[in-house]
Amino acid sequence: MSTALLVLTLNEIDGMRQIMPNIKKEWVDEIVIVDGGSTDGTVDEAKKMGLNLIHQKNRGHGGAIITGVNSTKSDNIIIFGPDGNHDPNEILILKEKIEEGYDQAIISRFSKTSVNLDAGWLDSFGNKMFTKLANIFFQGNLTDALNESRAITRKAMSELEFDALGLDSTFQMTIRGLKLKQKIIEIPGNEGERIGGERKINSFRTGALLGRRLLKELTTKK
């Protein structure tokens, strides 16, 4: 059973320098850097590290995921961002859980034991609200339906018919997984402070996007 780590980047040179040396190549079968058009030296830094780098074909967070998934034939996919929000050690936990037979494994930043050092009150409120709505409408029992840090099997990914290109991408993955009764597990985790770069989420625009995604999933079978 093979595992690919997709590292999604857009102007993350500081995070690349601090985070990537803590990820051991032997943890997974392949590491793919999926770059969304960095202009700060991220691409050169990845090449200097000897990492496999590809340029995403479609714009947006979901576009990066699609490009990454299509670039590998590994059985399992782990999604990771090198911006300081995610702990590299969680990669091994996600890999372990997906190899235990789960379809999706999600790191929760809002479990009872989690510490979140990056999300402000508005983002926290929005996340909890949309997670609650997903639980109500799609019979879930989750605390973080939106987190990027997750693993999914290739088979489960194919079943989702995933097509969300924007920041609603992981929300779609979660909702469609619930609709299909996929075996999903949450793992309590923490969210660290961002390392350099710029935060790419506008709370109000993202909230509107998530709302539209919720309505679309409510009115479609998959």
Cα dihedral value 149, 96, 112, 117, nearest 10: -40
**CA distance to 13, 29, 131, 181, per residue, from 103 (Å):** 32, 19, 19, 10
pLDDT at 64: 96
pLDDT at 58: 82
| Residue found by looking up tokens 């402000």 in the block | 120
- Nearest alpha carbon to residue 35 among 1, 18, 14, 58: 58
The answer to whether 143 and 153 are in contact (CB under 8 A) is: no
Supply the CATH number for residue 175's domain: 3.90.550.10
Q: pLDDT tens-digit profile of 84-120?
A: 889 999 999 999 999 999 999 999 999 989 878 777 7
What DSSP assignment string belongs to 159-186? HHT----STTHHHHHHHHHHHTT--EEE
The answer to whether 130 and 171 are in contact (CB under 8 A) is: yes
User: When comparing pLDDT for 194 and 160, which is higher?
Assistant: 160
Helix axes 169-179, 121-138, angle to 10 degrees: 20
Tell me phi and psi for residue 49, to 5 degrees: -80, -5
Q: pLDDT tens-digit profile of 190-215?
A: 888 888 766 667 788 999 999 999 99
Please state the rounded mean pLDDT for residues 174-191: 96
Does this model's pTM top 0.75?
yes
How far apart (Å, rounded) are the C-alpha atoms in residues 208 and 130?
11
pLDDT reading at 222 higher than 80: no
Which residues span the domain enclosing 159? 3-218
pLDDT at 204: 85
Count structural domains, the chain: 1
pLDDT at 190: 86
